[in-house]
Structure 1
C-alpha cells in the first residue's frame, strides 16, 4: 500500500482504535500517538500494525501507536483536527440510550483491568510526572540547544574572547527564543499537570503562573509566614506547581459534584482559584522558602568545611534542589563570592550535577538500547544536557525511571569531590553549567573543571550501569535481546513438544487475567493454575535468561524457539522473595527438570495471582501450534505442540 497522507493516516488510526467515538482524547510524545480508549474490546491492534507508517502498537493504560520522531506530532494534530478539539482535550461525547450502558460497562472493565495491575504509589507518582513533562521534551530540546549556543557565546563575551558590540544583538534574539519556554515553564507545567490530574488545563496554567507573583507590589511585598521575610518569585518551584494543581483537581471535582449546573461555570473556577491560589501563596511558597533558607545555612556550613567532602555533598544534592526549583536561592551566594574574591567557587561544583545526569543517560542508552522510545528521548536530550540544560534529562528520563535519578546524583557528587579536591576552581560570572561554563573558569584553571566534568560523566555512567537500571527495564531488554538473537538462527522445521510445568489445571493463554498475556502481546502458549509450587521445564533446551526478580525464566529450545516461563502475574513487584530457583543460565534442560520451588501462599498473600504461564516469544518462527489438552493434569504431561518454520 502506498504511503498515506497525514489525514488518511489519522483516519486509519481512528478506525483501528474502534472509531472516533471510542477515543476520549489524543496526546503524543516523541515517538507515539497516545489515545485514551473507552472500550478496549473495540480496538483492533492487528489492523493498526498493518497501517503504512505505523511502526508498532503498545496497549497499556493508553493505546500507543508508534509513528516515530518528527512525524508523530503532525499525525496527532491531524487526528484532533478531524474532531475539532485541541491535543489532550476530551472529545465531544454523543451518547444515547443503550450506548450509555455500553460505555459504562466498558469503563467498568477498564477500571477492573487497571485495578489488577496494582502499581505502587511511587510508580504512579513517577508516571504522572513523566506524563506531565514528556509532551514538553521537543520544546526542551529546541529551546535547550538555542540556550546552550547562547550560553557559550555569552560566556565567551564575558571572558573577553568575543566582542560584545558585535555579538550582543544575536545573543538577545537567542535569549528571547530560549525564554519563551524557560521563563514560563511553571505555566506550561500547570497546564500539562491539569490534563494529567483531570483539572481544567487553563486553570492549571493560572495556578502555575501564581508562583511568579506577578502583580505583587515590590514596595509592600507579601511576607513568608515561616520567616517573616518577603516572598520571592519562583518559591515552590516546579514540584510546588504540580502539588498545587493536584489539589486543584480535587477541589474542582468536588465542586462539580455539589454546585448546580446553572452556576457551575462561575462558582467552581472562582472558588478553586481562591482556595488553591491562597494555599499556594501563603503555605506552599512559604514552606519552600523555609526549606530554601535552611538549605542556605546548610550549604554555608558545607562550604566552610571545604575540600572533596564539600564537593561531594554539594554535587550530590544539587539535582534534588533543581527538581524542587530551589536552586535559585544560591544566586546571592554566587554574587557575594564574585564581589569578594572575583569568582564563585560554588558554581563549578554544582555544575557537576548536570554532568552526572549525562553519564547516567549514556548508561541507560547502552544498557537499554533495544528500547527505541527511550533511546530517541536520550538522543534528543543529551546534547542540551552537555551544554548545561538539564530539564529534558531530569523530567523526561532519569526522574520518571526513579533509580537513575539517584545514580545521576552520585555521579554529580563524584565530580564535585574532584573539583573540591583540586581546589581553586571558580567561575568569574554566573552562567549555565556543563561544557558552556568552560570559558568562564577563572585563572586558567579550566583544565581542572574539565577533569571534574569527565569524573562526573564517568561516575554517573558507572553508578547507573551497575546499580541504576530499573529491574523491569532489564527484564524487558532481556526478552528483546533473546528474541533478536533467536531471530538470527535459521534451523530446519521441527515439532516441539510442550509439557505441563506443574500439577494443576491447563488453560489457553487468552483466558489469562492479565490483558498483556491474554492479548498474546508477548507470544502464544498456555498457563496452568498450579496445585503445588513445583515448577518444571516445559521443553528440552537451555536456560537463556533468569530474570533478576526470579519470577520468569527464558528457555531456548534446540530448534531455536524462545520460551518464557512466567511464574505468577505481577509478581515482578515481589522482588524474587517467593521463588527458589534451581537452575542457572546456560544450563541444559530436559522437559522434566525442576526449575523452581514457588511459595504459592506468599504470592496469594501479596495479592498476586499464581498462574504459571508458558509462552513462545518468537512466534514468527512458528508455522503452527496447537493446545492439545485442557483441564486437570499432572506435571510432565504433554499439553501443546509447536512446529517451527
Structure 2
C-alpha cells in the first residue's frame, strides 16, 4: 500500500490513467519493469495513448507486445504502480504474469520473438556483470590505453587483483550454454532442473572441447549410436543449440508428465526426457545448430567483407528501429556466438552508435524546445537514460512519437557506423553500450578513443539534424 505522501502526489495522474484506458472494467492486469507501467487491457482501442502521454510524470506511452506501456522512469514507476494497483482495486501481477497474459493475444511470430527475448532477459544481469568485469581486466591488462605499458606492468602490486578479476570475468562464459538451456527450459514451461542437467551434458569434461576440435588440435571420439556415427564433441559456445535444446527439454518434459502414469512418473518422466533430448542433441539438433550458427556468423562476416562501410552504416542506421519491434534481443544470441567463434564483437560498437544517434535526436529535441517545461522534463530524462544504454524512454517518449527525431537519430547512427568501420572498433564482450560499454572495448588501435569519438559523432549528428529540422520545418507537435 502506498504511503500518504506518495498517494497524494501520484493519485491525480493515476485517476486520469484509469479514465483514459477506458475505466477499471477494461483492465486485465498491471505490472511494472524498471521504467514502465505495463497494462494489459481487454480493448486497446478504448485507450487514449496520446492523452496519457501528456499527463504529469508521464514521459511517453505506447502499445507493444499487446501491452499498454507507460514510461515514468526508474524509481517513479515503483511509486506510481503502488498507487495504481490500490486505486484500480487489483492485486499486483508479476512482470512474467503480464507477459504471459498479453502473449495470448499475439500471433505465433511475435510469441516466438517474445519468448526468445525472455530467455536472454533472464541471464542478462550475469552477462552484463561479466562483461564489465572483462572490461576492467581489459583496461588493466591491455597495452596502449594509458601508454606503452599496461596498468599491471606499471603497478605490479595489482597483478593479483587483476588475475582475480580475470577469472571472475570469464566464469559465466564457460557455462553460458548451460545457463541458456536452463533459462529456455524454464521459459518454455519445462522443469528448469532438467535444463541444467542437459546443459551439464553439453559441457561434460569427457567430451572433446569444441574449440580444440575446431582448431584441429584434438580428434574427437566417434561412436556408433543405433547405426549413426556420432562425434563426442562438447558444445562450448553453442548458444543457438542451447536455445533449441531448452525448447526440446521443455516440450518433452511436458509430454511425459502428461502421459506417464502417476505411480512411476517421478523417475520415468525425467529419465525419458533426458535420454531422448540427449540423443537428439548429438544426433540432430547439435549438428543442425552448428550449421545454423556457422551460417549466421558467415552471413555477418560476408556483410562486413562484401558490403563494407555500407553494411556497417545500414546496421547502425536501423538497429534502433529493430528495438521498437522488440526483435533486438535476438542480436544478443548472435553477439554471444560471434564472441565464441572469433573472440571479439564488432556488433556492440554499432549498437552503441545507433543508440547514441537516438540520444542525440532527443537532445536536439530538448534543446530546440528548452522553454517548454514538459518537453524539457521528458527530454533530459530520456537523454540521460541513453548515456547508460537504455533507449526506450527516448524512442517512445519522443523520437517515435514525433517521427522526425527517429529519422535524424537513424542518420546519426549510420554516420557513427561508418566511423566504426573506418577505425575497426571491436568489443571483448556484449550486453553494455554507451558509457558502460567503454569498459568492454578492445584497446587495439586506440579502440577506446575511437569508441568515444564514434559515439560523440553519432550523438552530434542526431542532435544537429534534429535542431536544424526544427528551425527549417517548424513542425507542429500537438
TM-score (norm 1): 0.41
Cα pair 1:407 1:460 within 8 Å, conserved? no
SS at match of 2:220: coil
Q: 2:412 & 2:196 partners in 1: Cα distance?
A: 30
| Compared CA separation, residues 418 and 411, structure 1 to 2 (3 A) | same
Q: 2:358 & 2:203 partners in 1: Cα distance?
A: 35
The Cα shift of 1:259 comes to 1.3
Residues 220-272 of structure 1 show CA distances to partners (whole Å, capped at 9, x for unaligned) of 735599998763532431x3322221222222222222112222222222211
| Compared CA separation, residues 61 and 451, structure 1 to 2 (3 A) | closer
Tell me the equivalent position of 1:185: 176
Do structure 1's residue 418 and structure 2's residue 422 form an aligned pair?
yes
Q: 2:416 & 2:128 partners in 1: Cα distance?
A: 22
SS at match of 2:142: helix
Cα pair 1:416 1:456 within 8 Å, conserved? no
Residues 399-455 of structure 1 show CA distances to partners (whole Å, capped at 9, x for unaligned) of xxxx99x999977863464247xxxx9x9xx955975587743xxx538x8558745
Tell me the equivalent position of 1:636: none
Cα pair 1:251 1:272 within 8 Å, conserved? yes
Q: Which runs of 5+ in 1 are unaligned?
A: 5-15, 17-22, 41-53, 77-86, 91-109, 332-346, 384-402, 467-542, 546-555, 557-645
Q: 1:70 & 1:455 partners in 2: Cα distance?
A: 31
Alignment of 1:469-480 (within 5 A): none
| Compared CA separation, residues 459 and 197, structure 1 to 2 (3 A) | same
SS at match of 1:233: coil
The Cα shift of 1:298 comes to 8.2
The Cα shift of 1:311 comes to 6.6
Cα pair 1:224 1:231 within 8 Å, conserved? no
SS at match of 1:325: helix
Tell me the equivalent position of 2:258: 257
Q: 2:31 & 2:181 partners in 1: Cα distance?
A: 16
More strand by percentage: 1
Alignment of 1:400-549 (within 5 A): 414-415=418-419, 417-419=421-423, 435=438, 440-441=443-444, 446=446, 450=449, 454=453
Residues 110-150 of structure 1 show CA distances to partners (whole Å, capped at 9, x for unaligned) of 98x866x4x34332222222223334444444443333222
Do structure 1's residue 322 and structure 2's residue 334 form an aligned pair?
yes
Identify which of 228, 234, 237 aligns with 2:236: 234
The Cα shift of 1:315 comes to 9.4
Cα pair 2:135 2:440 within 8 Å, conserved? no
The Cα shift of 1:154 comes to 1.7
| Compared CA separation, residues 269 and 284, structure 1 to 2 (3 A) | same
The Cα shift of 1:312 comes to 6.1
Cα pair 2:34 2:77 within 8 Å, conserved? yes
Q: 1:207 & 1:358 partners in 2: Cα distance?
A: 35
Q: Which runs of 5+ in 2 are unaligned?
A: 7-17, 19-27, 44-56, 82-93, 210-217, 317-330, 364-377, 392-405, 431-436, 466-474
The Cα shift of 1:170 comes to 1.5
Q: 1:3 & 1:415 partners in 2: Cα distance?
A: 50
Cα pair 1:415 1:455 within 8 Å, conserved? yes
TM-score (norm 2): 0.53
Q: 2:69 & 2:307 partners in 1: Cα distance?
A: 46
| Compared CA separation, residues 180 and 65, structure 1 to 2 (3 A) | farther
Residues 520-576 of structure 1 show CA distances to partners (whole Å, capped at 9, x for unaligned) of xxxxxxxxxxxxxxxxxxxxxxx968xxxxxxxxxx6xxxxxxxxxxxxxxxxxxxx
Tell me the equivalent position of 1:221: 220
Tell me the equivalent position of 1:284: 285
Alignment of 1:93-108 (within 5 A): none
Do structure 1's residue 160 and structure 2's residue 159 form an aligned pair?
no
Tell me the equivalent position of 2:133: 146
Q: 1:217 & 1:124 partners in 2: Cα distance?
A: 36
Cα pair 2:354 2:413 within 8 Å, conserved? no
Cα pair 1:33 1:64 within 8 Å, conserved? yes
Tell me the equivalent position of 1:124: 111
| Compared CA separation, residues 61 and 216, structure 1 to 2 (3 A) | same
Q: 1:36 & 1:298 partners in 2: Cα distance?
A: 38
Q: 1:210 & 1:373 partners in 2: Cα distance?
A: 46
The Cα shift of 1:357 comes to 0.3
Q: 2:77 & 2:172 partners in 1: Cα distance?
A: 21
| Compared CA separation, residues 412 and 248, structure 1 to 2 (3 A) | farther
The Cα shift of 1:287 comes to 2.7
Tell me the equivalent position of 1:585: none
Cα pair 2:138 2:442 within 8 Å, conserved? no
Q: 1:371 & 1:244 partners in 2: Cα distance?
A: 43
Cα pair 1:150 1:171 within 8 Å, conserved? yes
Do structure 1's residue 355 and structure 2's residue 349 form an aligned pair?
yes
Cα pair 1:211 1:235 within 8 Å, conserved? no
More helix by percentage: 2
Cα pair 1:190 1:206 within 8 Å, conserved? no
Aligned residues: 369
Cα pair 2:416 2:457 within 8 Å, conserved? no
Larger Rg: 1
